[in-house]
Structure 1
C-alpha cells in the first residue's frame, strides 16, 4: 500500500488516517476498474461508491467531482508507472546502455498488458473531449517521463560519457523508438509477441541512439 504522504499530489484533501487513505485508494482503483469495463460516460459516482464502499461525500472531499476523480486516477496510475518502469539512473548498479535498454523493455512490457492498453485508449478518448484534462495528462505524464530520461542524459553529458546538447529533445527521440508499438495499441491492432526479435530491435535502436551521442 502507498504511504499516506504519497497521495498528496493526487487527492485534493489528503487523508489524515489510515482508514481515510484506504478509502481514497479504493475509490481510485474502483473508479479505474469501472471506467475500463463500462466506459467513462456509463459510470456514475453512485456506481463507484457501491463498488468501493463509503459515500459520495468521500469523492467530493478527496477529488471534487467525477472529472476530478478521473484526473486523480490518471495521476495515481502515472505514479505506479514511474515506480515500475522509469527509475533514476544509478551508475553503480548499471551501465548507461543497459539502463536505456531496460527502460524501453519495461515500457514495452507495460504497454503490452491489455489493461494498460485499454486505459491508454480511455485517456485519449477523454482528452479529446476535455482540453484541460489533455494538458494536465501531458504535463504530468509523457512530459515527466521524458524529463526523467533527459535528466539522466544531462548527467551523462556532464560526466563525459556521452554528448548531449539538448537532453529534452534527445529524450523525445529516445521514446520515439517505441512509437510504432504505441500507435498499434491506440488503434487496437494486435501487437507482435514480445520475443527475441523485439529485444534485438530495442538493443539495435539504443546502440544507434548512443552512436548519435558521442563526442564530435
Structure 2
C-alpha cells in the first residue's frame, strides 16, 4: 500500500523540503506526546525540536488538535502497511494470506510504542467525544473496511462464502486484538512465538471452515 502523506496536510507544500518538514512535525510531535503527555506539550515545544514555525503548523494542520488527528491518520496508515507486509505472493492462497495478516497485526498491536500510543488516544478521547468518533471512524473502522474488501473479493471469486463481510472482518481482526488489551492493562503473560503461531493457525483454519473455504488444508 502506498503512503499518501498529503492526506494529513491541509495545504500541500510546494517543495520536497516542505513535505519533509510536515512529516518531521508528525514524528517529533508523536515522540513528545508519548514522552510528556498531550497537554504538557505546546506548539513551541514541537517547533523547538522540529524547527520551522508555528505558522507552518497552522498552515499544514490547522492547530494542535489537527496535528494530533494527522498523527493518528498517519499511524493508521502505518498500521495498514504493517498489516499487509509480506503478503504480496499470497493473495491466491487465502489461508496463507490471513495467517500472515494476523501475525503482522499481532506484532503491530503488541509493539510497546503502539500500546503507549493507544493509552494516549484513550486519554484524549475520554475528554473529547468528537475526537473519539473521529478516531473510531478513521482508525478502527478503516482497518475493518480494508479487510472487508478482501472478503468481498474472495466471495465474488467463489473462494469463500461470506454473507456478512463486515461482521467477518471484525471477527477475524478481533481474534488478536485482545493481545493489545492485555498489554494495555498490564496483565499480559509471556507467550512463545510457537504458542502464538499455533493459536493464529487454529483460528484461521476454523474461520475459513466457517466460510466454506474451497481449498483443503
Pairwise same-fold verdict (TM > 0.5): yes
Distance 2:167 2:79 in 1: 22
Q: Please show how residues 14-163 of structure 1 align to structure 2 within 5 Å.
A: 14-86=12-84, 94-163=92-161
Alignment length (residue pairs): 212
The answer to whether structure 1 residue 187 and structure 2 residue 185 are counterparts is: yes
Contact 2:13 2:19 in 1 (8 A): yes
Instruction: Flag the 1:55–1:148 CA change in 2: closer, same or farther, 3 A.
Output: same
Q: Is the alpha carbon distance of 1:126 and 1:191 closer, same or farther for their aligned partners in structure 2, counting shifts above 3 Å? A: farther
**Structure 1: gaps spanning 5 or more residues:** none
Task: Give the SS at the match of 1:9.
Answer: helix
SS at match of 2:7: coil
Is the 1:86–1:148 Cα contact (8 Å) retained in structure 2? no
Q: For 1:79 and 1:34, how far apart are their aligned partners in 2?
A: 20
What do the CA deviations read for 1:15-43 (whole angstroms, capped 9, x no partner)? Answer: 11111101111111110000000111111
Q: Distance in 2 between matches of 1:124 and 1:89?
A: 31
Residues of 1 paired with 2:86 and 2:104: CA distance? 14
CA-to-aligned-CA distance 1:113-162 (integer Å, 9 cap, x gap): 21111011111111111111111111111111111111111111111111
TM-score (norm 2): 0.91
Identify the residue that residue 170 of structure 1 maps to in structure 2: 168
Q: Secondary structure at the match of 2:187?
A: coil
- TM-score with structure 1 setting the length: 0.91
Structure 2 unaligned segments of length 5 or more: list them: none
- Following superposition, the deviation at residue 182 of structure 1 comes to 2.3
For 2:129 and 2:197, locate their aligned partners in 1 and report how far apart those are by CA, in whole Å.
36
SS in 2 for 1:139: helix
